[in-house]
Amino acid sequence: MSKEKVVLAYSGGLDTTAIIPWLKETFGYDVVCCCIDCGQGDELDGLEERAKLSGASKLYIENIVDEFCDDFIMPCVKAGAVYENKYLLGTSMARPAIAKKLVEIARKENAVAICHGATGKGNDQIRFELGIRALAPDLKIIAPWRMTDVWTMQSREDEIEYCRQHGIDLPFDTKHSYSRDRNLWHISHEGLELEDPSVEPNYDDLLVLTVPPEKAPDKPEYVTMTFEAGIPKSLNGKRMKVSEIITELNKLGGKHGIGIIDIVENRVVGMKSRGVYETPGGTILMEAHEQLEELCLDRATYEVKKEMGSKLAQVVYEGKWFTPLREAIQAFIDVTQEYVTGEVKFKLYKGNIIKAGETSPYSLYNESLASFTTGDLYDHHDADGFINLFGLPLKVRAMKMQELSKENQK
């Protein structure tokens, strides 16, 4: 009789390597590893050999970079979705994309369970599990770090020793470094000195994608981008797909010290955590998109869109991607993007993105209206009646307060 299968979300790191023999020993499962490439670069080198050596029966390496960019990143860019005014959702957007692929592989392999290595303190356990539940409610979910009765390892040393006992002698080190998560959009850092909010980050040690602004070039660099219906189409005159544009913007932004965020954020599980995020290309893309929206969106739509963007950020941060609410917000956002088409120009200089002009065939900016010598469309006398009506509630209340004040003085 063949063994039941479990699909393991596998990164090749120490945690998920130790989980392979643990799953076999604890549950008797046949372990199918699935590493999902969201643009984490050379972290994927040598995974095949490592997974097999650790006892996995199979390893999938699934490249979902373009799907991640088109179906997960771009809805958030178009919405201007930023969590707590700073965090550009790099990890939050990737988790539902990964969950979707894990479910696909589980179905293909006829697996009965999906296992992930997220801890019991973080947001990722929620994002993975809400995604899996929404797409495959029948699959079992195994989260070793929450199963303290059967998962007894407490430290890196414990995990390395466990691996050795099971014939897995890999070059893992015992020193604690930053806890990082990387994909095409960003890299996050937690741990070490960042655990004390009073301590300045050691940027020389910490940064991977970018440089501190003071080490950026002394000369600014101009960048031109075009958008069609809210989606970036070209960079400096060259048409590219979204993933290529983000890759190039990462290089440009990294060179000029763009997109470093140090934040104490409110996790879903109720605690505050401090992290540093590097999002060089994403910061530029969000800013360029918003720059064009200023021209193309009317005031009332823009106002509601800002609220919807903030709501979407919360929904995505909390792992609720596969919900009717996210679909409804995204549908609203897509309507607002129909005419967000045009060109933006800006310069990058020591951590800053400085506007240098924008044009759109759908621009609502009217030069004759906006100039001091207004034309036929605007009669200054109209402002009299407008201000009278617009300010009427204030005036009525002030008159009432005046009247009451006089009565009290009698």
**DSSP run (H or E) holding 384:** helix 382-390
3-state secondary structure of 25: helix
What residues have CB less than 8 Å from 207, skipping those under 6 apart? 260, 278
3-state secondary structure of 226: strand
Taking alpha carbons only, the member of 17, 96, 113 closest to residue 59 is 17
Q: Report yes or no: 227 and 233 within 8 Å, Cβ to Cβ.
A: yes
Is residue 107 part of the annotated active site? The answer reads no
**Domain coordinates in residue numbering, the chain:** 5-165, 179-297+340-359
Instruction: Report whether CATH 3.40.50.620 matches the domain 5-165.
Output: yes
Q: pLDDT truncated to tens, each residue of the chain (410 aa)?
A: 689 999 999 999 999 999 999 999 999 999 999 999 999 987 777 888 899 999 999 999 999 999 999 999 999 999 999 999 999 999 999 999 999 999 999 999 999 999 999 999 999 999 999 999 999 999 999 999 999 999 999 988 999 999 999 999 888 877 778 999 999 999 999 999 999 999 999 999 999 999 999 999 999 999 999 999 999 999 999 999 999 999 999 999 999 999 999 999 999 999 999 999 999 999 999 999 999 999 999 999 999 999 999 999 999 999 999 999 999 999 999 999 999 999 999 999 999 999 999 999 999 998 777 776 666 778 889 999 999 999 999 999 999 999 999 888 87
Is residue 138 part of the annotated active site? The answer reads no
Q: Of residues 30, 37, 124, 181, which has the active-site annotation?
A: 124
CATH of 179-297+340-359, one of 3.90.1150.10, 3.40.50.850, 3.40.640.10, 3.90.1260.10: 3.90.1260.10
Is residue 37 part of the annotated active site? The answer reads no
Question: Quick one: tokens of 204?
Answer: 């020389």
Taking alpha carbons only, the member of 166, 168, 169, 188 closest to residue 179 is 188
Q: Report yes or no: 305 and 353 within 8 Å, Cβ to Cβ.
A: no
Distance CA(174)–CA(162), nearest Å, equals 13
Q: Report yes or no: 93 and 74 within 8 Å, Cβ to Cβ.
A: no
Q: Of residues 50, 95, 180, 182, which has the active-site annotation?
A: 95
| 52 phi/psi in degrees, rounded to 5 | -65, -45
Tokens 């609502």, located at residue: 364
Q: Report yes or no: 106 and 114 within 8 Å, Cβ to Cβ.
A: yes
Is residue 124 part of the annotated active site? The answer reads yes
Q: Of residues 179, 234, 310, 363, which has the active-site annotation?
A: 179
Distance CA(42)–CA(49), nearest Å, equals 15
